[in-house]
Chain A
Amino acid sequence: MLFSELILAIMKPLNRQRTISSPYHLIKGKKSGQTLQDIGYFGLYPYFGVLSKLDKKAYDQVIKSLFSQGYLLANEQVIELTEKAINASIDESPLNGWKYRGNENLFFNRLSLIVQTLSHVSQSVKIFDPIVNNEEIQMWVKKYLQQIQFRDLAVVQAFKNELFTTLSNSAVSETHKMILTERLTGLTLSGLTWQQIATSKKLSVLDVQLMTVEALHSWMAEIEKSKPPLLLGLMEGVIQQSSLTATAQRTEKLFERGFTLEQIASLRQLKTSTIEDHVVELAMNDPYFNFQSFMSQELYKAIISESRHQQSKRLRDIKEHLPDASYFQIRLALSIKEENQ
């Protein structure tokens, strides 16, 4: 998937309902109430936080080219896609941003340093400049290497075999796999910079960075599935047990102990609206979320049917027809997974 395709894939469900910069926040993995909610409303889970270092200028540049290529129409308030954009077919992507939360970088940094070390040590070179300078990762890799007895050439051979097998079985193109291995470095063959990879493939830097994340998500899924003993170790701490943000987890605990939203807000010295954001996040993540303490069954149903009727998830559109509902109630109702209620 190219970067411009990623933007279009996100824009399609958001069309006429969200601003032109909302895909940017989603791709960056911004943990604000609005962004987190939209993921649930619009089913944008795969794209959350896939390029956390995305630069706003680079994003704006791509948006500009989408305009000039006739995918977007000028609109001051919201995204407005053209027919061309709506009909554009975008290939299935292996992205799984909500699950991996940017931790593919942790996985790949560990892997890069391990491969570099094995490459040198197996060829009897002990001194080299580590490709990863983060000390935490260095310590982790050191411990890992000692555990697997990395000086044993049979272990290196086994590690290499696992790399070949799992990467072969990953459901991405050969180009994806090539890019991934071009970011690895060894004794006689150096890694390539993003710009070098992009130039050689006539793509942009953002395209190859996105393809790397796709390749990693697909590869990590394969490792989780086939559980190769050596590579599986690299997944330690990579998958978050709870998909809630840490701050929402604290609110959840207090809520379970029976505090009201106002009490939680004053206990945590946060605004009530922030606590409401947390509740919306809880609802998104819990298919059996009980909303009864926030609104009646009738109001919930009214909001849902109004949203369907208008084919809109814009809060203002719904509020106009249901003035008795608060914005919080509307947001909450929209974020609840309907099939279970």
Chain B
Amino acid sequence: MNLEELLYSTYGFSSFRPGQKEIIEQVIAGEDVIALLPTGMGKSICYQLPAKILPDSVLIVSPLLSLMQDQVAQLKKMGEKSVVAINSFLKPEDKDRIMNNLGAYKFIFISPEMLVQPFIKKKLQEIRVSLLVADEAHCISQWGFDFRPDYLRISEILPILNFPQVLALTATATDKVTEEIKEYLALIKPFVYCHPMDRKNIVYDIKKFEDSQEKLEFLKAFIQKFKGPGIIYAGTRKKSQELSMLLTEQGISAAYYHGGMEHQDRVFVQQQFQNGEVEWICSTNAFGMGVHIPNIRQVIHFQIPTSIEGYVQEVGRAGRDGFPALATLLYATGDEALLESLVMDDLPTQHEIEAVFNNGPSATHLIDQGVVRETAFRVIAYWMTKLPLAGVTSQIEQLRKGKRQQASKIRELVSREGCLRSYIIGCFDQQLTHKPDNCCVNDGIDYGVFEAFSYSEKKPIPLDWQERLSVILPI
């Protein structure tokens, strides 16, 4: 069957996005594949479509719980019913039923920590897996910006599954990270698809200020001049609320979004943004996943991002429709100090390392008591099964160095005088082949393009409850 036909009959899309077809063809041909595709380029299609052709189950290892939930929801939304998610939220009463029937599911999503449980290992040995998908594969790398030690355990499952065909997916990876993925997943000669990191229609701007008050003044003027839809990444929950209030006071429609809100409120904000009922979203980095809005014109970083990878992911949410989009980073003197502490805060302290060593890798009460933070605990608990105390300490020291490099890349971005575009893609070991006319602040930006965009405000909001109900149910 023709792949385009399959795509249309299964998901109703008439054509592939760049890269998808090449990856899918290799997967179907039985090759191991490492695919570097930017967020929003439809990574999940790369295993969803082959699943229609491959005879047995597809096992997807997904490191982030929220991401897993989103992917399961997306698949179900597309009408796929044979989907199951195995994670710590699985209810005991469902667990037996699902595990006894595991092989019957086409798509099995699993978290790394569940993957290595003896009971689950045994079940996995009994079923047939056509394809193992390592999603967000950069989490394997300790150099990556969100290293998950549990993820390394994926290699323990490979022999049990009889070294299945592997598809490793990630949005951001340097050559070094790609090498590590190969090594940990025991991929001998994988097909590597590397999507050009450069997004020609995104223009990179950096504005420098003395303090954060000046940032606010700039923002006030900016939102009057340039139209959305846009996202303002605020850094903290509190800041996202404050900025949203500021915009609202200026008569601009805005809403805030962060992980501390209840589920329904978050869905409401996403819908409002998607429907064009609200022009700006002020948010933490929680916003973006599962949001597929093609016409985002502006991404503003009110606070300095903590890694170049994170920055590129967030900026990459703009301009998916191919029209020009502006990425503006607001920097104030002294932000580096903040950056340093933000980046280093995650790392386990010597005190935490010793606490875990003294109490053992199963002493999760240390987390409840607030002695050791959860992420720190995970990292230490993993390493202490491999290394003695001194080894773990030096391992963490290595991580610290890596983090410092991460931070210095951002500092470099801000202080750079040359082309930002070529610097950014250089961070991913790629070369700039063609430089667009409207490129970055250091090469001069033609803002006129962005002023031309007009935001069409949606029809007026209904005044009473009867009208509201009639708009919701216009029957």
Contact = CB atoms under 8 A, between A and B. Distances in A.
Interface of A: 112, 115, 118-119, 122-123, 127-133, 153, 156-157, 159-160, 163-164, 167, 174, 177-178, 180-196, 199
| Closest 10 pairs between A and B when the two form their complex, measured CB to CB | A186-B472, A190-B271, A193-B265, A181-B465, A177-B465, A191-B268, A181-B468, A190-B272, A189-B471, A178-B465
B475 interface: yes
A83 to B, nearest CB: 38
29 contacts: A115-B472, A122-B475, A127-B77, A128-B77, A129-B77, A131-B268, A153-B475, A156-B475, A157-B475, A174-B464, A177-B465, A178-B464, A178-B465, A178-B468, A181-B469, A181-B472, A182-B468, A184-B468, A185-B472, A188-B471, A190-B277, A191-B264, A191-B268, A192-B272, A193-B261, A193-B268, A194-B262, A194-B265, A199-B248
B366 to A, nearest CB: 25
B469 A160 contact: yes
A129 B267 contact: yes
Given A133-B73, A190-B275, A191-B264, A184 B472 contact: yes
A185 B268 CA distance: 8
Contacts of B472: 115, 119, 181, 184-189
Nearest to A168: B466
Given A127-B78, A181-B465, A196-B255, A186 B471 contact: yes
Given A115-B473, A167-B465, A193 B269 contact: yes
A177 B469 CA distance: 11
Contacts of A186: 471-473
Given A115-B473, A118-B473, A123-B474, A189 B468 contact: yes
Contacts of A190: 268, 271-272, 275, 277
Contacts of B277: 189-190
A191 B248 CA distance: 18
A195 B462 CA distance: 18
A86 B266 CA distance: 40
Given A164-B466, A193-B265, A196-B255, A122 B473 contact: yes
A181 B473 CA distance: 12
A24 B395 CA distance: 48
Interface secondary structure of B, over-half rule: helix
Nearest to B274: A190
Interface string B61-89: 00000000100010001100000000000
Interface of B: 69, 73, 77-78, 241, 248, 255-256, 261-265, 267-272, 275, 277, 290, 462, 464-466, 468-469, 471-475
Given A118-B473, A160-B469, A184-B468, A192 B73 contact: no
Contacts of B466: 164
B471 A192 contact: no
Nearest to B257: A193
Given A122-B475, A174-B464, A191-B271, A131 B264 contact: yes
Nearest to B248: A199
A305 to B, nearest CB: 50
Contact of B469 (A131, A156, A164, A194): A164
Contacts of A130: 73
Contacts of B468: 178, 181-182, 184, 189
Nearest to B290: A129
A184 B466 CA distance: 12
Given A112-B264, A129-B270, A196-B255, 6 more contacts: A122-B475, A128-B77, A156-B473, A163-B469, A174-B464, A186-B471
A186 B474 CA distance: 10
A115 B241 CA distance: 29
